[in-house]
């Protein structure tokens, strides 16, 4: 573990009102796991997860291009804010995944309270790092030389890059979720796509073998919808090859625009049985 050099002792109040004693080195914010624990008010039931998570996260992110994530100062391991932020984001993802439902109820409540402060803690940490970088590029009383463009650029990259990466990650997550919603929820599917009647039933959770006109007719729902679409003279798409349920035989199946099939399905309750058979 590398030794931290050129260190300034600093302190700041966290959103929880707890003083964080941290180290400033080269415009980078470091603190021990105990200091981060206190400032963030990580619940006791998550102490082991947090402390082991810092070491694990620093190790996994060594190849990400962010330097010196885990250092040593006076023989104590200290961690950059970037490691803490990444661990907090991991916690946030797990919270929305399962709310830590595998934990006992009393632990879940403490974790819930901690998660309520998640956004404040992450924003505070990045602001703390940005202020540290801002101070690092200011000329001191002993050194009145102008800040070089390279120094300023490096400082800006250090401050902005993690937030941009987080933002990009969120956008990717949102795109995936939106795509899954569109595929799962019929109202978000393209109404002009050509699909089979069978697929429309699957999307709406219907059984094509039901007989809506029984006992006046033994026609099943698939047949009735096909008749309605034929009667309306709606546009057909390219037939698709499909296998008959429970058999090895295949057959061609007509396709229609999704909105036309949905419209036909919605019309059935409004039409008298006799009208369906005419």
Cis ω on the peptide bond leading into residue 199 (within 30° of 0)? no
**By percentage, how much of the chain surpasses pLDDT 90?**
37
What pLDDT sits at residue 88?
A: 94
28 has pLDDT over 50: yes
**DSSP 8-state code for residue 191:** T
pLDDT: which is higher, 128 or 152: 128
- The residue-averaged pLDDT of 99-123 equals 91
What pLDDT sits at residue 159?
A: 55
Report the first-to-last Cα separation within the chain, whole angstroms: 84
Q: Give whole-number Cα distances, 168 to 63, 92, 159, in Å.
A: 19, 16, 15
Digit-coded pLDDT (tens) for 31-84: 999 999 999 999 999 999 999 999 988 888 776 666 689 999 999 999 999 899
Digit-coded pLDDT (tens) for 154-199: 655 655 655 555 655 565 565 566 555 555 555 557 788 889 998 8
């Amino acid at each position: 573990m590398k030794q931290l050099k050129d260190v300034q002792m600093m302190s700041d109040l966290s959103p929880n009102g707890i003083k964080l004693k941290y180290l400033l080195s080269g415009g980078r914010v470091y603190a021990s796991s105990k200091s981060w624990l206190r400032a963030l008010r990580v619940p006791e039931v998550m102490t082991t997860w947090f402390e082991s998570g810092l070491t694990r996260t620093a190790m996994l992110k060594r190849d990400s291009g962010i330097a010196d994530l885990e250092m040593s100062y006076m023989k104590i391991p200290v961690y950059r804010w970037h490691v803490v932020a990444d661990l907090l984001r991991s916690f946030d993802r797990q919270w929305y995944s399962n709310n830590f439902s595998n934990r006992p109820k009393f632990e879940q409540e403490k974790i819930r309270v901690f998660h309520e402060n998640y956004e404040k803690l992450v924003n505070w940490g990045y602001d703390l790092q940005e202020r540290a970088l801002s101070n690092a590029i200011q000329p001191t009383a002993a050194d009145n030389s102008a800040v070089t463009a390279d120094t300023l650029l490096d400082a800006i990259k250090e401050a902005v890059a993690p937030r941009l990466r987080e933002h990009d990650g969120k956008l990717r997550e949102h795109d995936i979720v939106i795509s899954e919603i569109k595929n799962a929820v019929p109202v978000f599917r393209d109404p002009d796509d050509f699909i089979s009647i069978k697929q429309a039933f699957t999307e709406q959770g219907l059984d094509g073998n039901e007989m809506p006109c029984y006992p006046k007719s033994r026609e099943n729902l698939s047949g009735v919808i096909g008749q309605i679409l034929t009667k309306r003279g709606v546009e057909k798409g390219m037939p698709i090859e499909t296998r008959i349920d429970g058999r090895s035989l295949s057959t061609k199946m007509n396709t229609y625009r999704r909105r036309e099939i949905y419209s036909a399905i919605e019309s059935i309750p409004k039409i008298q049985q006799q009208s369906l058979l005419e």
